[in-house]
Amino acid sequence: MIEKDKYWYSSVKWNKHYADLHGHKYQLLSIKGKCSCNELLLHNAWCKVKAMLEVSKQISDTKAFLYIDSDTIITSNYSMTDILGYIRQELKWDYEKKPVAFNQDGPGWACKFTMSMKKKYSYCLNSGTVFWINNIKSIEIFETWWQSSSDPYDQSRFPSKWRTDWPWEQAQIYKVYEIYKSSVLILSFPDKPFLPWTSLKNPTSQYPTDYVEPWCFSHWPGKYYYIIIIIIINIIII
């Protein structure tokens, strides 16, 4: 049941319209009850991974999926087919070798925290958008990510109790990427550690003010975005 008084209902309507306009299938998924894996209670954000895994299995005849968080807005005038075709050509992206694409984060607080931890990472990821070709390898990647929710905390670089506290499933996306580097593409700037924010129009701005062209799948918190980010479960099926 869609709660129309919730803030994210506007993104549901907009993204459904986008999907219909360009001939894509659209599916809204929501959580009923508690999110848990192997009898361990998880924050609801973790169940986005479960949703990615289940939709891959249950709608097996779909070639590709784009997962988006509930407050993600798609603002392009082009179809996902055209956008992904362009990205594929621009980055020489071989879908067969790298069936999953993870999204970069911008240099905000979360990124700075990740890159400044005692056992830090040299790059930043954000699970607000995930694209994948529906095949055995992508299902294996999501299964590994989902089951990693049961890992002991002392095996993680993140100091928080991420099963129920921030950064939730994003703590383990790094582990998954390290395991499956050869099968995962990083969007939007794979040659950089994070999505660069630029504010040439207003250098003193806290957030980026410049457009990102011709595409961006990442966290862009100002008003000039292609896709922006956070939580609930909202899946576009291509």
pLDDT in tens, the chain (238 residues): 556 666 677 888 888 999 999 999 988 887 778 899 999 999 999 999 999 999 998 888 889 999 988 878 787 888 888 888 889 999 999 999 999 999 999 888 899 999 999 999 999 999 989 999 999 999 999 999 999 999 999 999 999 999 999 999 999 999 999 999 999 999 888 899 998 888 888 888 877 887 776 677 876 765 444 443 333 345 555 5
> Can you say how many angstroms the Cα of residue 128 is from the centroid of all Cα atoms in its chain?
3
Structural domains counted in the chain:
1
Give the DSSP letter of residue 40: E
- Rounded CA gap, 11 and 73, in Å? 6
| Segments forming the whole domain that contains residue 197 | 9-237
Asked whether residue 2 is assigned to any structural domain, the reply reads no
CATH number of the domain at 30, please: 3.90.550
CB neighbours of residue 219 within 10 Å: 27
Q: Kindly list the distances between the CA atom of residue 116 and the CA atoms of 44, 122, 162, in Å, as whole numbers in the listed order.
A: 26, 9, 17
- Rounded CA gap, 207 and 94, in Å? 33
> What is the CA angle 58-64-69, rounded to 5?
80
Asked whether residue 53 is assigned to any structural domain, the reply reads yes
